[in-house]
């Protein structure tokens, strides 16, 4: 049995873990990172990156299919396109592989030792790692738990056969003719819309009164409209109950209490994610929990001295960039720097069609704090959006009425994910409506919608 000692041990090489390890290595901290799979975690391997690759392929295929029908307003005509999903998936896998190698290279550059295997706690300072060459014992002064999250499995729809999670959906070699999606949140709609564009007949089953319930109805209206245009059937106030005896249909209880069957070759279950806290021997150490998650303070410290936790395992929002920011902070704390978790806003993006971006407070949340001003600018009045056939959507700015401090920014539209950096920066810098309105935005760009929304809130929008 081999033993090694280090100052910092990071368990999990997802976005939070590998960023923590790289930053620690840059700061001269003797660091070891343990990962059972490939570097990059869920986000890089079976989440953010591969799903965006599939979404992009679906968008391109739909564009060409539309042109083949002779309906393109751009005047472009092509012959009927054919999609080879296996080849698409191979392209996606190539991107993931390159990024895996990139992360491994960055860890090596930062002089971080990587141990491949599954870590189990012995105590708050020691873990055992089952590697290909035998048991490795690692003793560390400080440990960071970055074990991430996994898809929630429904007891009456266990994964296997036709029932798949997002992981399996991203590895399909053929487009299913009929796809039932259980859960109308961002993961379900992102993948459901992508498969609909590739030719699948998609049905979404959502237990709540509307899809994307975490966003306000005004923001999601363009997405709901697009679902209908893609021929996606949406069943709200409906509950999945199981799978038919022939494994060819999803059993559903509809909004009126009746039983129904949704024909499906594949059933994609996307009802949320859960923290990965099992199998790590966490019962050997005493950590306070917040429900299923590990409880942490504003410095990501757990209830046990010398043990930190970052990323999805610590709760919502389960976002890769949140985990990265926490990982960087923890590394600097371990190095003796004065840091804390004081983010004003963490932008969140939903890569549906059209895309959604939120940062800071929603109008409802802001109203609860006092009187507000709201400025909304539609992309129907934006020249760049019009030239991209992306007029459906808007930018909305929410600010305090008294001093015009910006509290929240939301957008829905084609490509608005790229505006998230500007939104986050404005909130972090404590911008007021006058700051945004007075910043010269390049023309013609969709970013002009941000400036115009601020002008609208001030009462003198120029282009509406």
- The catalytic residues are 443
Peptide bond just before 317 cis, omega within 30 deg: yes
- Radius of gyration for the chain, computed over Cα atoms and rounded to the nearest angstrom: 24
CA distance 416 to 431: 20
Q: Which residues of 17-27 are buried (b: 16+ CB within 10 A; e: fewer)?
A: bbbbbbbbbbb
Number of continuous H segments (helices) and E segments (strands) in the chain:
13, 24
- Please name which of 344, 328, 343, 356 lies closest in space to residue 420, comparing C-alpha atoms: 356
CA distance 138 to 395: 50
User: 395: closest CA among 368, 426, 367, 365?
Assistant: 426
Q: How far apart are CA 311 and CA 388, in angstroms?
A: 36
Residue 18: closest CA among 170, 146, 198: 146
- Which residues make beta-bridge pairs with 464? none
Query: What are 459's two structure tokens?
Result: 């009462």
Omega of the bond leading into 34 within 30 degrees of 0 (cis) = no
Which of 362, 380, 355, 379 is CA-nearest to residue 449? 379
Burial call 81-112: b when 16+ CB within 10 Å, e when fewer: eebebeebbeebeeebeebbeebbebbeebeb
Within 198-347, where are the H helices?
A: 217-229, 320-334
Rounded Cα distance between 277 and 293, Å, is 8
What b/e readout covers 396-418, taking b as 16+ CB neighbours within 10 angstroms?
Answer: bbbbbeeebebbbbbbbbbebbe
**Residue 263: strand pairing partners:** 249
């Amino acid at each position: 049995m081999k033993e090694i000692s280090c100052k910092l041990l990071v368990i999990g090489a997802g976005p939070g873990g590998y960023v923590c390890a790289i930053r620690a290595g840059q700061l001269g901290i003797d660091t070891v990172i343990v990962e059972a799979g490939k570097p990059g975690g869920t986000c890089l391997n079976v989440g953010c990156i591969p799903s965006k690759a599939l979404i992009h392929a679906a968008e391109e295929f739909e564009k060409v299919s539309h042109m083949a029908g002779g309906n393109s307003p751009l005047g472009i005509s092509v012959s009927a396109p054919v999609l080879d999903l296996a080849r698409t998936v191979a392209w996606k896998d190539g991107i993931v592989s390159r990024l895996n190698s990139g992360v491994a290279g960055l860890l090596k550059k930062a002089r971080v030792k990587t141990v491949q295997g599954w870590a189990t706690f012995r105590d708050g300072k020691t873990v055992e790692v089952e590697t290909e060459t035998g048991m490795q014992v690692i003793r560390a002064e400080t440990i960071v738990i970055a074990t991430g999250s996994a898809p929630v499995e429904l007891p009456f729809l266990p994964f296997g056969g036709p029932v798949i999670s997002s992981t399996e959906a991203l590895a399909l070699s053929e487009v299913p003719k009929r796809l039932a999606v259980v859960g109308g949140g961002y993961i379900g709609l992102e993948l459901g819309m992508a498969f609909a564009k590739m030719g699948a007949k998609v049905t979404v089953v959502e237990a709540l009164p509307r899809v994307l319930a975490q966003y306000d109805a005004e923001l999601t209206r363009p997405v709901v409209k697009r679902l209908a245009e893609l021929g996606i059937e949406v069943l709200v106030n409906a509950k999945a109950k199981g799978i038919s005896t022939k494994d060819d249909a999803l059993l559903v209880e509809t909004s009126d209490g009746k039983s129904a069957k949704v024909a499906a070759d594949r059933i994609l279950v996307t009802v949320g994610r859960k923290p990965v806290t099992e199998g790590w021997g966490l019962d050997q150490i005493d950590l306070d929990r917040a429900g299923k998650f590990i409880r942490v303070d504003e410095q990501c410290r757990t209830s046990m001295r010398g043990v930190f936790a970052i990323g999805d395992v610590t709760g919502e929002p389960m976002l890769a960039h949140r985990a990265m920011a926490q990982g960087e902070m923890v590394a600097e704390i371990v190095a003796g720097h004065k840091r804390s978790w004081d983010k004003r806003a963490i932008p969140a993006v939903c890569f549906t069609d059209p895309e959604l971006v939120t940062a800071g407070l929603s109008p409802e949340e802001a109203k609860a704090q006092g009187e507000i001003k709201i400025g909304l600018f539609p992309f129907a009045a934006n020249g760049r959006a019009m030239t991209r056939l992306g007029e459906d959507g808007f930018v909305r700015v929410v600010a305090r009425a008294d001093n015009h401090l910006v509290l929240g920014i939301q957008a829905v539209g084609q490509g608005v994910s790229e505006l998230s950096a500007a939104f986050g920066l404005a909130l972090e810098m404590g911008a007021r409506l006058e700051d945004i309105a007075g910043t010269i935005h390049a023309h013609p760009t969709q970013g002009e919608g941000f400036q115009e929304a601020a002008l609208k809130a001030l009462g003198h929008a120029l282009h509406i």
